[in-house]
Structure 1
Amino acid sequence: MKKFAAGLAALTLAGALGASVPAFAAGQGDLIKPVDKELTFVFVPKVIHPWYDVVAEGAQFAVDEFAKQGIKINMIWDQPPQADVVDQNARIEANIGRHPDGLAVACLDQATNVQLLKEAVGAGINTITFNSFCDDAFPFIGPKSSEQDGYDLGEYLAKRLDGKGKIAILAGSLTASDHVQRITGFKKALEQYPDMQIVFEQPDDDILENAVSLTESALSANPDLAGIFGSNASNPIGAARAVDNAGLSGKVAIVGMDDLPEAVDFVCKGTIDALKAQRQWDMGYWAINYMVAMNENHTIPMFHNTGSRFLTKDDCK
């Protein structure tokens, strides 16, 4: 009887403890919310540009993958025709009002973009950033700092020119953090070469035609120009067009960013000496994946570094 009483007491205690187990003590899988509706994701890049076409290709690939799983995604690209801070902010604000299931922004101006992105998060919108870093408060896909790319290209150009000569810089957009950081890195690299002198530095506002005309001006003002650095995806192409038209291909060294088809053609031709190419296809692919994950209540990384790689004529073989 004593054993029975003891057993009964143990069962009673176990029952009491069991009754006190909170209802939320379930499997972690129960935290995930299946997607049961069509999702709308909005991308707001810095400008209409072929570089973002590659981002969109990666995003579309992910959209097609999810469609096979039964998750339908409506992807919208809302792009300013030019790199204009006021225009981009107006588009971000308008899209906050639409309350999409995901908002992906390439920051053009950290100071003003951050406030709007905080508004988006406050409105309950799943918000991420890509391409150009904005703030640690938001998940980011891309290189958090682009200074190393600029430094690497500065080092490459210095070695190509034996540490001597006059240099021009096409500065892109003065508010875009990635453009600014590349120029900072490029200048740091050149500090080691006192016989290299920066004689021209102008923003082209990420407009190809501006890059062509600015390069023509730099060549006119400096007939002995030795090299050109392009801080974004379009200005190496603009520089190459102007240099090629002037019959100076191979005589004026050019280094710059990214692997747009025309830029790669100029590398293979020998007009552009080197490019640092980002992996923007991955930016689009992972942006879609992470925004779906956020809608399902998954965790996602706050920083996904997609990196970059050198492209030279050796890669044309």
Structure 2
Amino acid sequence: MKLKTTAALFTAAWLMALPAVAQDQADLITPIENKLTFVFIPKVIHPWYDVVQAGAEYAVNEMAKRGVEIEMIWDQPPQADVADQNRRIETNIGRQPDGIAVACLDRVTNVQLMNEAVKAGVHVINFNSFCDDAFPFVGPKSSVQDGYDLGEYLAEELGGEGTIAILSGSLTASDHVERIEGFKDALSQHPEMEIVFEQPDNDILDQAITLTENMLQAHPDIDGIFGSNASNPIGAARAVQNAGKAGEIVIVGMDDLPEAVDFVCSGVISALKAQRQWDMGYWTILYLVAMNENHTYPMAHDTGTRFLTQEDCVDK
């Protein structure tokens, strides 16, 4: 025991006697010499993701000016189908790209494959719909607040009473589920408000229209409608307008697709909570580059949301 202690002290004294060597932190960065390939795997083919792609393309062009060449591939299922999305994730892992960006449609199975990608040496980032804290995420980490805010807005518009319908989007998508959770929490503060209809539209516009038409037949005196994704506020607004009930039913929902904004400005939709999906695409590219360069990067970048009402329209 005494000999070990003496040896340890001798080693420590010897190390202290060595001259200090400054380390240039720039040496920690890995220069990008070859073209990078990044694959985006959204939940579904949808105009909402076109805006994400536009932000990503802007970042790709910025990187090109730095001399970093990026090939960006979008591989999304035509419908919100968990098995289809997972097949695409698995296939792209086998291609060994420099990065994969996933919008989670089903947390449990998506995360399993994302972990497999990391084990295979592929950089993985999560955007839009939160998956797991193990992966860097770009987007609103929790969508509960958006649903709550829209529920409170609807309650205020209706004076705290009335019958409500919910178009619930995809039942496995975390952001859709969390918005409904927040919306119901807000309505629970108003006992005179009752949810009489709730159905998934699977993020398909035509389904949202049909569901709303059926709902209006079953509940002709409905007072309010909540749409949990980018498609269903538009579907609800089309059906309500076609039924001649525009302005009679308060519609609130998510996102700022052009048609949805037009419905806000014409008074068919009362309010939207709009995400900043352009930012999601932009920062996802930048962080994937950072991962390949061995830079630091945040594990969570909340891109936020904002309210849109008729007051925001230039020509009301």
Distance 1:192 1:61, change over 3 A: same
Shift of 1:14: 11
Residue 67 in structure 1 maps to residue 64 in structure 2: yes
Residue 314 in structure 1 maps to residue 306 in structure 2: no
Q: Matched residue of 2:100: which SS?
A: strand
Percent identity between matched residues is 72
Q: Which whole-Å CA distance do the structure 1 matches of 2:26 and 2:94 have between them? A: 32
> Residue 141 of structure 1 corresponds to which residue in structure 2?
138
Distance 1:192 1:71, change over 3 A: same
Q: Which whole-Å CA distance do the structure 2 matches of 1:161 and 1:220 have between them? A: 21
> Residue 205 of structure 2: which of 203, 208, 214 is its match?
208
Shift of 1:70: 1.2
**CA deviations over 1:148-200 (Å, ceiling 9, x no partner):** 00000000000001111110000000000000000000000001111111000
2:153 alignment partner AA = Y
Q: Matched residue of 1:255: which SS?
A: strand
Larger CA Rg, structure 1 vs 2: 1
Q: Matched residue of 1:108: which SS?
A: coil
> Residue 191 of structure 1 corresponds to which residue in structure 2?
188
Distance 1:154 1:15, change over 3 A: closer
> Residue 287 of structure 1: which of 277, 284, 289 is its match?
284
Q: Which whole-Å CA distance do the structure 2 matches of 1:259 and 1:315 have between them? A: 12
Distance 1:14 1:123, change over 3 A: closer
**CA deviations over 1:81-111 (Å, ceiling 9, x no partner):** 0000000000000000001001000000001
Residue 119 in structure 1 maps to residue 116 in structure 2: yes
Q: Which whole-Å CA distance do the structure 2 matches of 1:100 and 1:112 have between them? A: 20
Residue 275 in structure 1 maps to residue 272 in structure 2: yes
| Mean CA deviation greater in 187-196 or 25-34 | 25-34
> Residue 164 of structure 1 corresponds to which residue in structure 2?
161
> Residue 176 of structure 2: which of 179, 187, 190 is its match?
179
> Residue 266 of structure 1 corresponds to which residue in structure 2?
263
Residue 225 in structure 1 maps to residue 227 in structure 2: no
Q: Which whole-Å CA distance do the structure 2 matches of 1:203 and 1:121 have between them? A: 33
1:88-99 equivalence runs, <5 A: 88-99=85-96
Q: 5+ unaligned residues in a row in structure 1: which ranges?
A: 1-12
1:12-51 equivalence runs, <5 A: 17-18=18-19, 26-51=23-48
State the superposition RMSD in angstroms.
1.4
Q: Which whole-Å CA distance do the structure 1 matches of 2:127 and 2:221 have between them? A: 39
Q: Matched residue of 2:34: which SS?
A: coil
Shift of 1:276: 0.1
How many residue pairs end up in the alignment?
A: 301
Shift of 1:68: 1.1
TM-score by length of 1: 0.93
Q: Which whole-Å CA distance do the structure 1 matches of 2:300 and 2:66 have between them? A: 26
Shift of 1:79: 0.6
Q: 5+ unaligned residues in a row in structure 2: which ranges?
A: 1-13
Distance 1:128 1:165, change over 3 A: same
Residue 237 in structure 1 maps to residue 238 in structure 2: no
2:215 alignment partner AA = A
> Residue 109 of structure 1 corresponds to which residue in structure 2?
106
Q: Matched residue of 2:223: which SS?
A: strand
Shift of 1:26: 2.2
Q: Which whole-Å CA distance do the structure 2 matches of 1:16 and 1:178 have between them? A: 58
